[in-house]
Amino acid sequence: MTKPHLVLNDVSYVLPDGRALFSDVNEQFDRRSTGMVGRNGVGKTLLAHILAGWLQPTTGYCQCSGSVHYLAQQVVHPDGSTVADLAGVKHMLDALARIEAGSTAPKDFEAVGDHWDIHQRLRYELERNHLSHLETDTPASTLSGGEAMRVSLMGAMLSDADFLILDEPSNHLDRPNRQALIEQLQRWSRGLIVISHDRQLLESMERIVELSSLGIHSYGGNYSFYAEAKAHERQSALQHLGERKLERQRQEQAMQKQRIRQEQRQARGNRQGKEANQAKILLDRQKERSETSSGTLRQKQANSRAQLNQRVREAEQQVEDQSQITLHDIPITQAVKRRVADLNGVELPYVAEATRTISLTLSGQQRIGVVGPNGCGKSTLLRVLAGQVAPLAGVSKVTPESAYLDQRLENLAPEKTVLAQLQLANRTATEGDLRMRLAQLGLDAQKVATPSGSLSGGERLKGALACLLYADSPPPLLLLDEPSNHLDLPSVQALEIMLRSYQGTLIVVSHDDSFLENLGLTDRLRATEQGWNLEPL
């Protein structure tokens, strides 16, 4: 196939509650690497599911001339899954093993296809991506979030698909692996669609398409080109809206003056008729003509006003909805002076030798950013502090009054609504107040009443954060694992502001240096080849 393409034809999608997520979307994707951007909840992932053939649109259709491989933003590995499962080659390896054992079943040969060297190719990719310590049967549960994503990305590359659709592929990746991902995608010669908020990754794309409240719009350049064009478009739309509103105001003033002049003429005519002592029949005819003239003027002005209002509405529709994300300050509590955690010679499970052992004491109002390469034990450290994983050795004493937000948002039950779960966490605020707080996060009335599992990644993250931070009593120890993943830029900035107001002990794992710098950290806990190193700032 020489020119694979994906085409959206008048695609619309209506949610189960009857709300249209997007309508009449028309776009074509070819071999150009394309970044897809948009605010949280606008429907990027659902549109990707339609492009991948996972979901049928409500109206319209998607035309595909090649094979598509879709990688979801959240790598899910069920119990018992392995590295081979994450890479999507387990069925090939199993079929190949059966053939080597003597199987002649057609389904085994169909499963292998042309991939007779799949074991060697996977081994090569693991070594090239500095994951040589992994085997095909390594349990997926022992991998860090970054390692799981990297293995899944290798599987996407091994798929030989005509199109790759990658949903937030740089989430969980450290800086070197983000750069390696960019270089890897630049070598990809087939169709590529990347959904992301990662500006560095988007900068490497050949074009950007944006899904917004106005529909879909293609920009023929990288992120910098898109950002400049977008700013210009918004300024032009706002200017046009201002001109239409000014036109309406001036016309309204002119119509008011016209009404006043007519009323004055009518009053003057009535006085003159009375003063001239005209017959009653003549006065009645004059009054009838005056009322007819007034009615005609009112109707004409009503039509003009309707046209002016319509022009303003049309101009308003060209201005994208960019409602601000607002997070309430966490209630200020008395500064905690006591220790909240004490790790003494703790050995972390599933962690390499250099960073396996850690001793760490945490007291009130420390704000620590945890940094280091994928697989060094950052997430495992947080799980030990949260009491979810027992250390292999050593002593761990941590306050039970802690809150932990992991990368998979396991504190948010997918079958329950965000509102119901927030009401369980906060029993003092009224439902109206909680609804208002969620609305200011971008979670409107329909979304807070929808099972959280059907929300976008960014919306689920906001809901999970709300259940932790808007609880009756904010925890003295807050553990956050990559909290800025899935969030658009306005939401990240709002999160930074809220976390700066948090008065307890804060430990944040993140690969986003800009995000960490804006949190007012007191220390950085760095994973190095010599072990863990706590650096005061």
The enclosing domain of 462 has a CATH number of 3.40.50.300
* Residue whose C-alpha is closest to residue 348's, from 385, 402, 401: 385
Residue 332 lies in a domain: no
Residue 325 lies in a domain: no
- At 323 the pLDDT is 57
Q: Give the chain's mean pLDDT.
A: 84
The span from the CA of 167 to the CA of 70, in Å, is: 8
- Would you call 58 helix, strand, or coil by DSSP? coil
Residue 158 lies in a domain: yes
Q: How many CB atoms are located within 10 Å of the residue 31 CB?
A: 16
Q: Token pair of 248, please?
A: 């309406």
> Are 371 and 250 part of one and the same domain?
no
Between the alpha carbon of residue 513 and those of residues 97, 377, 516, 524, the distances in Å are: 45, 18, 5, 11
> Are 39 and 104 part of one and the same domain?
yes
* Residue whose C-alpha is closest to residue 93's, from 125, 101, 295: 101
* Residue whose C-alpha is closest to residue 197's, from 514, 517, 486, 510: 486
> Are 180 and 297 part of one and the same domain?
no
- At 367 the pLDDT is 93
- At 420 the pLDDT is 93
Q: Token pair of 186, please?
A: 């630049």
> Are 273 and 394 part of one and the same domain?
no
* Residue whose C-alpha is closest to residue 13's, from 485, 456, 442, 319: 456
> Are 212 and 256 part of one and the same domain?
no
Which amino acid is it at 171? N
Give the CA angle between residues 326, 457, 64 to the nearest 5°: 130
Contact 310, 480 (CB under 8 A): no
Contact 438, 463 (CB under 8 A): yes
- Would you call 530 helix, strand, or coil by DSSP? coil
pLDDT digits (tens, 9 = 90+) for 157-186: 888 889 999 998 988 788 888 888 888 898
The span from the CA of 97 to the CA of 89, in Å, is: 12
- At 333 the pLDDT is 53
- At 368 the pLDDT is 95
Q: Which residues of the chain are modeled with pLDDT < 50?
A: 1, 332, 334-335
The span from the CA of 230 to the CA of 111, in Å, is: 46
> Are 216 and 248 part of one and the same domain?
no
> Are 362 and 272 part of one and the same domain?
no
pLDDT digits (tens, 9 = 90+) for 389-402: 899 999 988 888 78
Residue 198 lies in a domain: yes
The span from the CA of 45 to the CA of 56, in Å, is: 13
Contact 473, 493 (CB under 8 A): no
**Sheet containing 59-64, strands listed edge to edge, beginning at the edge strand earlier in sequence:** 20-29, 6-14, 59-64
| Phi/psi at 197 (5° precision) | -110, 5
The span from the CA of 265 to the CA of 262, in Å, is: 5
User: If 0-12 CB within 10 Å is exposed, 13-18 middle and 19+ buried, where does residue 493 land?
Assistant: middle
> Are 240 and 226 part of one and the same domain?
no
- At 1 the pLDDT is 45
Which amino acid is it at 527? A
> Are 358 and 463 part of one and the same domain?
yes
> Are 429 and 466 part of one and the same domain?
yes
Residue 324 lies in a domain: no
Q: What is the DSSP string of 427-479?
A: SSS-HHHHHHHHHTTT--HHHHTSBGGGS-HHHHHHHHHHHHHTSSS--SEEE
Which run of H or E residues covers position 346? strand 339-347
The span from the CA of 86 to the CA of 138, in Å, is: 10
Residue 134 lies in a domain: yes
Beta strand spans in 135-178 (E): 163-167
Looking at 230, 255, 289, the residue that finishes a domain is 230
For residue 157, how far is the Cα from the chain centroid?
24
Location of structure tokens 């806990």: 525
Give the CA angle between residues 423, 429, 431 to the nearest 5°: 60
Location of structure tokens 């931070």: 469
Q: Token pair of 104, please?
A: 């002649």
* Residue whose C-alpha is closest to residue 11's, from 37, 38, 47: 47
Host domain of residue 222 = 6-230
Looking at 283, 317, 351, the residue that finishes a domain is 317
| Phi/psi at 141 (5° precision) | -65, -20
The span from the CA of 358 to the CA of 525, in Å, is: 11
DSSP symbol at 278: -
> Are 481 and 346 part of one and the same domain?
yes
Looking at 230, 245, 265, the residue that finishes a domain is 230
Residue 334 lies in a domain: no
The total number of structural domains in the chain stands at 3
> Are 247 and 213 part of one and the same domain?
no
Residue 354 lies in a domain: yes
Q: Token pair of 33, please?
A: 């690497």
The span from the CA of 217 to the CA of 237, in Å, is: 15
